[in-house]
Structure formats: C-alpha cells, structure tokens
Copies of this chain bind each other. A is one copy, B any other.
Amino acid sequence: MTRIEFMQGNAASAEGALAAGCRFFGGYPITPSTEVAELMARKMPKLGGVFVQMEDEIASIAAVIGAAWTGKKAMTATSGPGFSLMLENIGFAIMTETPLVIVNVQRGGPSTGQPTMSAQGDMLQCRFGSHGDMAILALAPDSVQEMYDLTVKAFNLAERFRCPAFLMADEIIGHMRERIDVPDRVEVVDRKPFVPGRLPFEADDDRVPGFPTFGQGHHTHVTGLTHDARGYPVTTDPAMHDALVRRLVGKVEDARREIADYRVTNPDAEVVFICYGAPARTVRQLVADRPDDGIGVLRLRLVWPFPEHALAEFPNARAFVVPEQNLGQIAREVERHVRVPVIPVSKLGGELHTPDELARVYEEVRAR
C-alpha cells in the first residue's frame, strides 16, 4: 500500500530516513539541504529519536558516528562546503566501519559559489575526497520519489556494508516538489549483529564484521588508526595495514555487480546517454520525445561503486554521451572503461540541460 503525497525532495529524503529506521540526526544548516534538518527537528522527537543541531559539520558527522556506535541508525545532511568539512571524519567512519548516511544536496562550487543553484560537482569528491584509499557507496536520485527510495536504500547499504553511504542529490531534485507514492512499509536491512566470542573487527566471508554495539559488554576499542581484529592500534605493520585497507575497499568494490542499481533503455542503441540525478530527467524527456530513435540510456541510481559492467549492456554503442552538472566527473570514470568516444555535456551554473540542448548533441553525435 502506498499513499500519494505532494512533497519536496528534501522532505522525502527525511521521510525515507525515518522509514528506514533513522533515529539520530546531527546536522548543521546549509542551503540547499536545510529542509532535511528542519523536518527532522519536527519529527524526530515524536518518534523518540534525537535531533541535534551541532556547532558545525565536523561535529555533526562526529556526533552521527558516536550515535551509530550506540546502535542507532544515524544520518546527517549537508551541501558542498559542509561536505568538504566532513571529509576527515568520513574517513574515520570508513576506517571504523561505522554505518551512516550522508545526504549531500549539491550546489554550485567551488567554494561558496552558488549557494542556491544546482550542481553535481561533488561526485568525485565523495569518492576521493578523504585522504588515503577507500571505497564508499553513493546514490543519485532523479525524482522526489527517489529521494525517498534511495535514502532508504542508502541506509540499507550502509548497514549491510558498515560503510558510509551518500545520497548525492542536487538542488533541483532536493528543492522541487512533486508527486510521490509513500509506501506503508519499506524493506529494512539492519547491521549484522556481533557474535560474542569473536573478535570485534573479525570479518566474515563477506569481509564485514558483526557490529559490537556499545553498552552491551563487548568492550570494543574503536580507533581510526590501523588496527588488528581486536580493534587495537597497530600502526607500523605494513601487512596489517595492507590487509585492512584492502578489506575495507574490497567489501564494497567487489560487491559492485551484486548491488549495482541502474536502468537500461534501448540496449541496442548506438548512441547511449549515461545519466544520474536531475539531468536524467532531461534525458528521459528526450527519449520520450523521440520514441523512434532508439536512444540508449544508462541511468545510474547507484553511482559508486561504479557499475562498469553495465557499459557492456550496450554492445553496439558508438559513443557515450554524459550530461552532467559538472565538468564531466562521471564521464572521466566512463573513459576508463570504454574505447569508444565519451562525450561529456557539462552544464554549469545551476540550470538543467534542456531537451533541446541534448537533442542537438544527440544529432551531432549520431551524425558522426
């Protein structure tokens, strides 16, 4: 059963989080994500959860991590400048295998840039922005419905992999209101429980250890230093570090195929659009406007880990066109994997690609 609502994207994300079981929100206001926090401030107390506005984004993510260790599902929401500030502690969450969700409603950067305009400029930042090697999970909604659904999914992935999951939204989707079907119940994944007798960071075959929630007598030491399976710091043993980092990266990256989440349209196409977030709306409009052209579309809902195998779904592709609200960030990734031309269609400044613009690019590429 679902309930029809007319809802703002940011509100849908907050609702999705609550449905997924989020009971701790720590945040710091920033345009264009603030509505997520504001809705949480209203709703959390009624659900027995905790909303706290921290002194900054560093403290926000820190509090979220602390809360996660008490067993809570926890999240924060922010945008570019705040996201930049969170990066150190995002690395800590990765290193300590803390499940949590970060919503980044992207606005125009660099720097303070265009606070109220849409962008997708943080797509590589979320993947490579903290120091050291790592893997993360990143989803990109292209509708208010997906703000809801993919927030739920972000929680489920975060819990399953004990790894931060990002909802990489954009101002357009975050701020727009549209129809959404709110489900009665959603599928919820919980972190794997800790099995007493094992070591706190001893992983199973899936390379994910059970979660030794604080306060239950496990006496777990959690540190951002390189650590052994007991959680104790071991900082000068190269093999230990190598094994740890490869496990942390591998548990996510190697699940690439299994967790891939994308939509394929016209797999026989010669010209294929790869898209995610707001520009996907334009691409879908274009395809709808030209039903006979058989335009290919690979729409990513989960962007990281990048589903490179999905590119093979278009065996006839002569070119991949990648419209993004950035200078071709995901296009760079596509270039690594294909040998046909990759054509980034970068639109900066906050406006959405129009169907006409993409039609022109399409014509041009088809004519090549």
Contact = CB atoms under 8 A, between A and B. Distances in A.
A15 B127 CA distance: 35
Contacts of A96: 111
A116 B348 contact: no
Which of A116, A122, A339 is the most central at the interface, judged by chain B CB atoms within 10 Å of its CB? A122
Contact of A131 (B83, B116, B249): B83
9 contacts: A80-B131, A81-B88, A81-B131, A84-B88, A84-B130, A87-B87, A88-B111, A112-B225, A237-B349
Interface of A: 58, 79-81, 83-85, 87-88, 91-92, 94-96, 106, 108-117, 119, 121-122, 124-125, 127-134, 223-226, 235-242, 245-246, 248-249, 326-327, 329, 332, 335-336, 339, 347-351
Nearest to A337: B335
A249 B327 contact: yes
Contacts of A125: 128-131
B129 A87 contact: yes
Give the oligomeric copy count: 2
B109 A133 contact: yes
Given A111-B225, A114-B235, A129-B130, 12 more contacts: A84-B131, A94-B110, A108-B132, A109-B134, A113-B225, A116-B236, A117-B241, A124-B124, A124-B128, A239-B349, A242-B348, A335-B336
A121 B132 contact: yes
A363 to B, nearest CB: 22
A108 B349 contact: no
Contacts of A113: 95, 132, 224-226, 235, 241
Nearest to A86: B84
A165 to B, nearest CB: 16
